[in-house]
Structure 1
């Protein structure tokens, strides 16, 4: 690596509107975040979910000594809490790799895998893509609920369907789930994780991700998510559910999902495995691959490769990172994250990433550190595995993409060590 990184032309750098966290007061108020834009201060306090961010073209930044930063990171990367550690830090303002350790080693990344899924979805579908679930009238009194892959349907949407059907005679409800092949559960997953709240049988319509009695969180999931939607609609209509049928009649009602950018934010902040797998299947359907786990994986990698992102060597077996058989290098994540800094198609990925100290899987991390409110990153957690990959606008005016992956490590100590590493980049 060079001693100094120069910036001879205009690069995409951050002018990120991020949450700078305000520590909860002694009185016990919830975590809130001050919104800060580099060079400007905004005193108003907003909730974490109001935080937005973007990249903008900027003039060349000052010369910085990335060699010094690399040495600083190298010293901290010897921390034994990191276990079997791989990592990469790259200056997105110059393209220079600042530091790495075993960057191309294929390791277990856990939910950091969702970064690849999100990037492929933005490329293939665009940030405004929506899924539309329709209801069809077969002409004999039965309406057929046709699934489109929306796993976050909710009770209010079913009420909307009932209202739209007010002039349609309905005697029964059937369902059409043919948009996805019947491959509900991967052999790479543990069925105990359904009751554990981490995954559900992958069927192309669900209420709140098949959660039982909740809208978010790792609560037990249903084993019959598509049927649950049809049964719920039938109950609201006061009719019976009669099973599967082909939707052949005219559409008489419909509801649409949130735009993809909103769904990606929800998926990333809550690290929702069901949403990640569903979005992978959405990419597969759009690009002509089978909407199976294998087809979704292949579609994701193909979309990234066609967009110029090197996917060689990856062993990506699902779109969520739930499987312990995933093997992806730290360098691969940094390649995706660096592209965010130069490619408008991927820029919404920044907004999808949780804010340190402010949102979701990072809400209770980075407290009181220099990275709090500045680091945006995707976490990853499995047994003896912890990962953190994202973007950091440093105090020197440059923006750094990073990926840290710890295997064979105790999760909580590894998280603390990675947070310290990321904060050291912010302070540089």
Structure 2
């Protein structure tokens, strides 16, 4: 038998509302019980027709953390559709003569985020659900090049990420975050989430250094290992910093003796060169050598003429549905930012954060009829602390998507309580196991959850719960949020049916 998550059980025990109480009274009792009454709550609970069943600060803008991803996922699902794909191409700047490309070989990306090692749906045993080799489609490019008779490249191999603008780091992200995978640079060329995996392996006894390795090992950088193995049970202080030129990673701190191996994922500095290095390895596997160096560019004019010719080789991305799944199910920041820039490129002037946000804003106002004073987003992932969205804006977005023809793709990507994704350990052992589809969110002093709950009477409610400026920590606040959602799971009395919300301005 599945057991209820202990902290959720404790949160449920804080208040025991009488069965005769209305939904609003039960939720109020939860939010007003110590210590939850000391923090700022934004809550909206509606039915699918937009009728407000409960609201607290429902129209006030809150810091949404990763609930921000609902915006880019919804807009992309609606505008681009489940089968949208992009191409990654190889171009030459000169002719192929006697097996030699007399010029540079240009790897040109158009914003494909799926050169990665991950699964793209919950059923990981399904055919094609997972990619285990992020370099596989680069090998396909190399194979196509070999079939064309190319055996050598006389010039350089260039990673060209100019399909998007050259700003690869969002100005609203914290400096320390830029070292890590969750703030990886966002360029039109992507490989392995634009991050390297650093494996730290301790030894059985204290003294000496742990074994630190970098993957994929494609010649990107070296490891400067200054870390030490401390006594068993000592505090782990291991950290990794990237050098200013991106050519090395410095490992520091203490790893306890006997500790299990751990993997940290660190962001690369130059994503276009990173992809080109992976392409070089793929070329070598097909017996194609590059006589020049491996370089990068984000200058859209540098290889403009080469791109107007026919590509020497080309591969196609996974469909958009496989972009949306990591964004919502596992809350992958980089996929969200890549998709946001793609919206700017497809429907705006450029592949930039500014244009992507402009496209999102117009769609939320014009198509979803969301009040323009109830949201202000600046990135796709929610990593920037200056994103603001009201609970009512989220419930309107979610109700709109529930009616949209592409809802099934959107819903399949949302975490399901008790199943794979960020709700895997939440609501287990409660009547809502398998009945909540929702997006989680967490940054410093912020926890959020927005989505759908299927009630025991068959009705579906839409909710957004945002806790801001709290001091409880995620381990205590998350069960508190879940206890509110559990209150939504029973039968609704007729008195809880409120009139429709006013149309947004």
Q: Check whether TM > 0.5.
A: yes
Which residue does the alignment assign to 1:201?
Answer: 185
Tell me if the contact between 1:273 and 1:320 (Cα under 8 Å) persists in the aligned partners: yes
Matched, 1:159 2:139: yes
* Distance in 2, Cα, partners of 1:218 & 1:369: 34
Tell me if the contact between 1:340 and 1:347 (Cα under 8 Å) persists in the aligned partners: no
Matched, 1:230 2:184: no
Matched, 1:73 2:119: no
Tell me if the contact between 1:289 and 1:299 (Cα under 8 Å) persists in the aligned partners: no
Residue 23 of structure 1: how far off its partner (Å): 4.0
Which of 271, 275, 284 is the aligned partner of 2:331? 271
Which residue does the alignment assign to 2:319?
Answer: 259
Structure 2: which 5+ residue stretches go unaligned? 4-18, 96-100, 116-133, 198-214, 217-262, 284-288, 492-505
Root mean square deviation, CA, Å: 2.2
* Distance in 2, Cα, partners of 1:387 & 1:157: 37
Structure 1: which 5+ residue stretches go unaligned? 1-21, 25-64
Tell me if the contact between 2:272 and 2:296 (Cα under 8 Å) persists in the aligned partners: no
* Distance in 1, Cα, partners of 2:21 & 2:188: 50
* Distance in 2, Cα, partners of 1:222 & 1:66: 57
Matched, 1:174 2:187: no
When residues 321 and 369 of structure 1 are mapped into structure 2, their CA distance, relative to the original with a 3 A threshold, is same
Tell me if the contact between 2:90 and 2:311 (Cα under 8 Å) persists in the aligned partners: yes
* Distance in 1, Cα, partners of 2:67 & 2:349: 23
* Distance in 1, Cα, partners of 2:349 & 2:479: 40
When residues 342 and 290 of structure 1 are mapped into structure 2, their CA distance, relative to the original with a 3 A threshold, is same
Most deviating of 265-274 and 382-391: 265-274
* Distance in 2, Cα, partners of 1:230 & 1:197: 19
Q: Give the match's secondary structure for 2:53.
A: strand
Matched, 1:354 2:415: yes
Which residue does the alignment assign to 2:259?
Answer: none
Q: Give the match's secondary structure for 1:86.
A: strand
* Distance in 2, Cα, partners of 1:394 & 1:81: 28
Which residue does the alignment assign to 1:241?
Answer: 294
Residue 254 of structure 1: how far off its partner (Å): 1.5
Which residue does the alignment assign to 2:109?
Answer: 147
TM-score (norm 2): 0.68
In the TM superposition, what are the counterparts of 1:24-423 in structure 2 within 5 Å? 68-82=22-36, 83-92=39-48, 94-140=49-95, 141=101, 142-153=104-115, 154-166=134-146, 167-169=148-150, 170-171=152-153, 172-213=156-197, 219-237=265-283, 238-239=289-290, 240-244=293-297, 245-246=302-303, 247-248=306-307, 249-313=309-373, 314-409=375-470, 410=472, 411-423=474-486
Residue 242 of structure 1: how far off its partner (Å): 4.3
Residue 162 of structure 1: how far off its partner (Å): 1.1
Q: Give the match's secondary structure for 1:189.
A: coil
Q: Give the match's secondary structure for 1:212.
A: strand
Residue 391 of structure 1: how far off its partner (Å): 0.4
* Distance in 1, Cα, partners of 2:339 & 2:264: 19
* Distance in 2, Cα, partners of 1:208 & 1:75: 46
Residue 97 of structure 1: how far off its partner (Å): 1.1
Residue 287 of structure 1: how far off its partner (Å): 0.6
* Distance in 1, Cα, partners of 2:463 & 2:264: 28
For this pair of structures, how many residues does the alignment match?
365
Most deviating of 184-193 and 138-147: 138-147
* Distance in 2, Cα, partners of 1:210 & 1:168: 31
* Distance in 1, Cα, partners of 2:93 & 2:35: 62
Residue 66 of structure 1: how far off its partner (Å): 12
* CA offsets 1:115-142 (integer angstroms, 9 cap, x no match): 0111111121111111211112333423
Q: Give the match's secondary structure for 1:344.
A: coil
* CA offsets 1:49-99 (integer angstroms, 9 cap, x no match): xxxxxxxxxxxxxxxx9993233222223244542111001111x432111
Q: Give the match's secondary structure for 1:73.
A: helix
* Distance in 1, Cα, partners of 2:22 & 2:446: 29
